[in-house]
Structure 1
Amino acid sequence: MCWSFGVIIVCSLVLHAGNILWLNPRKLRRKLSEQGITGPPPRFYQGSIAEMRSIATRCKPEPLPRGQVSHGWARSIFPYLHHWALRYGSLYMYSTRQQVNLCVNRPDLVKFLNLQRPLDLDKPSTLVKTPNPLFGKGIMRATGQNWASQRKLIAPQFFLDKVKGMMDLMVDSTMAMIEKWEGMILQSEETAADIYITEDVNSLSANVIARACFSSSYAEGRQIFAKLRTLQHALARPDRLFGFHNLRFLPSKANKDLLRIREEVDLLILKRVRARQEENQKALKPEKDLLQMILESADANGAMNEKACDSFVVDSCKNIYFAGHETTATTISWSLMLLAVHPEWQDRIRSEILEFCGDRLCHRGSLDYEMLRKLKVLTMVIQETLRLYGPAIILVRETMTGIKLGEIDVPKGVVLWTSIPALHRDPENWGPDALEFKPERFKDGVSEACKHPQAYVPFGYGSRLCLGQTFAMLEMKIVLALILSRFSFLLSPEYQHSPVFRMVLAPEHGMRLVVRKI
């Protein structure tokens, strides 16, 4: 009997494994192929991973000469996706082990992604686990009802009426950076200085989100931001994103270092949380910032023990620290780079500032929301920057139920991948000048900028649209308006143009500009 039971158990496990690794994926691929969708043929267990590695090895781009810029960088980030799009079109399927993926880069189909119910498209479980040290179970990786409850908590903190109240601290943080740059130009004994702006812009954006959401400063959270960036760089490799290997549980040195840094970040954030809890006990009226809202939400959840409450608070803070400053900082850097290459747009923005603001930007606290709304040229430049160099590169969702994308029936369990650079560079949608920097395409708004405006997705699509969109746009307008009213820019001859994927689109070697005082 024991042998019989053993044989039955082994056979059941083999059948279960075969069902997961081959039969289920085969059924999904058949349903897609019956609708005319093609893609690279999969190998058993590995799927298309071997071909992805081969393409990535063959298609390494040649570095551009220093001081030169090309906007056709997209093919170098995930070269296999670009390679397959050329071969199979803007809608194709491929496999990564047992996972069946559908790449959706057709602008007309993105409209249907926007229309799906919130929980019908969710974050894939495989993608949720990969960057766990950086995001934990925070809103950027939460799924299902957990995501819905976190969104309900965080979203109101970034509504327009709240964001307007953060304008003064955005101005103060920007003025501190401006004064530093003015000092550097004075020290150079010239009218201009070659400045590595990356760290300054990162510090500025980090200071804004820290003060806005946690009533602290970048100086207090410097270690947190530095360690989060270390985690970000370690986790932003394509092999982790696409599941080339599943080695995150092995006790390798890299995995041990990730675990150590994660624990250090968690302890630093928890220390800040404990300090706030002590302040609350002494204060008659606690500070009503986002950290306080998170603490109150954790306290109100009676189902969570102390450890679970701490994890919820720490993960929420990590997500907001990262999302609230990294995306905005990189977009500001790319905007300044594009303006340095196109100085005529600097002049147009300054003329607009002079027309609507006069000399009021020369004084602290003189900005107001209505004034910023009138800066249409500046808005056009930011929108074009987000089109060519938006911080998000890839959008990933898993079908939790069967859905319909136009004429395509997508069964449950398929992972949808949308390449934002591919959508934003499609000449059929944007015209033959899709690779050119032309902010004037947005002169009548996004709705008139292209044939399918729903394919302009710098902040994502559907119910998972970026919660901080209003906050980020306002911060970028304030920072760029104040900087351009005081400085002009040229690209540094030392600048090496090499956009890379680090969870966001970042300049691999940082950003160097020649900054001249006006």
Structure 2
Amino acid sequence: MDASAIVGWEKSLWRLIGFSLVAIVALAWAWRVMDWVWFSPRRKERILRQQGFKGNSYTLMRLMFGDIKENSMVYAEALGKAINIRDPAAPRVMPFVHRTLHKYGKKSYLWVGPRPRVLIMDPELMKTVMTKHNTYKKNFKVTNHIVQIIVTGLLGLEGKLWSKSRTTLNPVFQLQKLKKMIPAFQVSCDEILSEWKNLAFTKDDGSCVLDVFPYLESLTSKVVSRTLFATDYSKDKNLYVILKEMAYLANQTTRMADLPGAKYLPTETNQRAKQIMSEVRKRLTVLIKERAKEIEAGQNVEDNFFDVLLNSELAEAHGIKNMNDLFGQVKLFYFAGYESTANLLVWTMILLGIHQDWQERARQEAFQVFGDRKPDYEGLSQLKVIPMILNEVLRLYPPVVELSRLVEEETKLGEYTIPADTLLMLPIVILHRDPEYWGEDANEFKPDRFAEGVLKATNGRPAFFPFGWGPRVCIGQNYSLMEAKLVLSNILRTFSFELSPTYTHAPYVVFTVQPQHGAPLILRKLK
């Protein structure tokens, strides 16, 4: 064989090897895709069904998208209808989950794309999931990309990073620090009440109709700026507005399929999300750098959340190194710090606007404890009726309707085996109204069920999780409750209120449960 023939043969061989390698890589990639969208979901479904779980079958009709299409249709239908104030909230705030439970029972699952989401309805198992946070992890890294943009900082961290961050921030929310925040709570409340007093009470009975929801959001936003960041609310105001818009975008996208690479598509939602985050990042970067310079110069070092966070970073890194981490933490607390308390307050006013007897009991307690003086910590700690009311509101309208966790490896949960890469859903709003734990009057507003504490209300069973449970319980729980008690005490001593005939009961979820059409109330000045 001559040299040219040998060279030709070698080229052909290398060509064949190249084609073969490409074919092997393509087949391997195709197999991984098929396993992800078909074989793995079918395996997980088989494991779940063998344990008695039921749900829609994962068929070709649900390939990749799961129950997304049906979920979106059911949700759109639910949002188009108001409900009665005494109706369960779940059919409106979690309509597809509610329908799944009604159809398949408490041992059921649904599909989020090709990944099953198992509903955990047993409160003891819920408690286990929330307690063992290193096994059952936050689901944000496998959720919609828009949600990932807004859920950052402490909420999105896991393992040692979370533990370190939580240890740094815990002191900010200890009782002694919260006591010092009370004057700032009061100033913000006084400003809103002054606005209400200056409204035109022109009707014959001295009343005025007012949608209180935006005012309560303004109040709690001012509190966050003053207590957590020591900043000027007038400069922060637009930040809250655009973060709220971001929350709306995130909520809308949770009802659509989030395909690989979807975040790179030039959709209107993606473009707006990028614009918002660009603006937020610019604002917060300037704020972080300015405050860091003040701290390094020995100026303006306080015990607020912002300064504690920056001091920790500066002490460890001798300068700001992790700007992205700081940005995520600051963004989270600006957003989460105001929203939960605003929603707790608005649902409290709505329910007390209906249940005048409880409004009057709470008012009498506020006058009895505080008289004409400003609320203080000693007085707030003596309240009995108002905390019962707040607990009942949190039961009926918890800030977060469900918690989701990701099981990365096959895991035993009680008697069940949960397949790897499976989501768990803990539908808090459904548990909070389950007659099995709360009695046949579970949908009724009865604060006296908490007269002897939470455990007595549920006969010793853990069925009340408005702020989560375990090590990852909401860090701002006591902050929110203290603020709510103070604000409600002030409102009750200044106004009486009832629902306006224009009120439409339509709870819905943005990130937290909110009144879709606002909260128009009839206010009357007491003095």
State the match for 1:433 in structure 2: 441
Cα distance, 1:109 vs structure 2: 2.6
Q: Are 2:339 and 1:326 aligned?
A: yes
Cα distance, 1:83 vs structure 2: 0.7
| Cα distance in 2 between the residues matched to 1:60 and 1:326 | 21
Classify 1:77/1:152 alpha carbon distance in 2 versus 1 (closer, same or farther; 3 Å): same
Q: 2:64 aligns with which of 33, 45, 56?
A: 45
Pair member with larger Rg: 2
Higher normalized contact order (CA 8 Å, seq sep 6+, divided by chain length): 1
Query: Where do 4+ consecutive residues of structure 1 move more than 6 Å?
Result: none
Cα distance, 1:410 vs structure 2: 2.0
Q: What CA RMSD, in Å, does the superposition of the two structures yield over aligned residues?
A: 2.3
Gaps of 5+ in 2: 1-16
Aligned residues: 505
State the match for 2:416 in structure 1: 408
**Which stretch of structure 1 is more off in the superposition, 274-283 or 197-206?**
274-283
Classify 1:243/1:455 alpha carbon distance in 2 versus 1 (closer, same or farther; 3 Å): farther
Q: What per-residue deviation string (whole Å, max 9, x for no partner) do you get for residues 179-236 of structure 1?
A: 2111115577862211121221111101111111111132221111111111111111
Q: 1:349 aligns with which of 354, 362, 373?
A: 362
Amino acid in the other structure paired with 2:335: F
Cα distance, 1:103 vs structure 2: 1.0
Classify 1:429/1:225 alpha carbon distance in 2 versus 1 (closer, same or farther; 3 Å): same
Amino acid in the other structure paired with 2:342: A
Cα distance, 1:168 vs structure 2: 1.2
Q: Are 2:330 and 1:317 aligned?
A: yes
Gaps of 5+ in 1: none
Cα distance, 1:449 vs structure 2: 0.7
SS at match of 1:221: helix
| Cα distance in 1 between the residues matched to 2:315 and 2:364 | 52
State the match for 1:374 in structure 2: 382
| Cα distance in 2 between the residues matched to 1:285 and 1:328 | 28
| TM-score, normalised relative to structure 1 | 0.91
| Cα distance in 1 between the residues matched to 2:126 and 2:108 | 14
Q: 2:156 aligns with which of 133, 136, 141?
A: 141
Q: What per-residue deviation string (whole Å, max 9, x for no partner) do you get for residues 280-325 of structure 1?
A: 35445623321112222333454x996x622222211110011110
5 Å matches for 1:456-467? 456-467=464-475
State the match for 1:110 in structure 2: 126
| Cα distance in 1 between the residues matched to 2:78 and 2:358 | 34
State the match for 2:19 in structure 1: 3
| Cα distance in 2 between the residues matched to 1:180 and 1:323 | 25
5 Å matches for 1:2-151? 2-43=18-59, 44-56=63-75, 62-64=81-83, 69-116=85-132, 118-124=133-139, 125-127=141-143, 129-135=145-151, 137-151=152-166
SS at match of 1:416: strand
Classify 1:425/1:265 alpha carbon distance in 2 versus 1 (closer, same or farther; 3 Å): same
| Cα distance in 1 between the residues matched to 2:329 and 2:213 | 26
Cα distance, 1:95 vs structure 2: 2.1
State the match for 2:290 in structure 1: 275
| Cα distance in 2 between the residues matched to 1:269 and 1:244 | 28
Q: Are 2:206 and 1:179 aligned?
A: no
Classify 1:47/1:111 alpha carbon distance in 2 versus 1 (closer, same or farther; 3 Å): same
SS at match of 1:425: coil
State the match for 2:314 in structure 1: 299
Q: 2:494 aligns with which of 486, 494, 498?
A: 486
| Cα distance in 1 between the residues matched to 2:404 and 2:257 | 14
Alpha-carbon contact 2:295-2:311 (below 8 Å) kept:
no
SS at match of 1:219: helix
State the match for 1:337 in structure 2: 350
State the match for 2:11 in structure 1: none
Amino acid in the other structure paired with 1:17: V
| Cα distance in 2 between the residues matched to 1:180 and 1:454 | 41
Q: What per-residue deviation string (whole Å, max 9, x for no partner) do you get for residues 344-370 of structure 1?
A: 11111122223333x2xx33xx42223
State the match for 1:212 in structure 2: 227
Amino acid in the other structure paired with 1:507: P
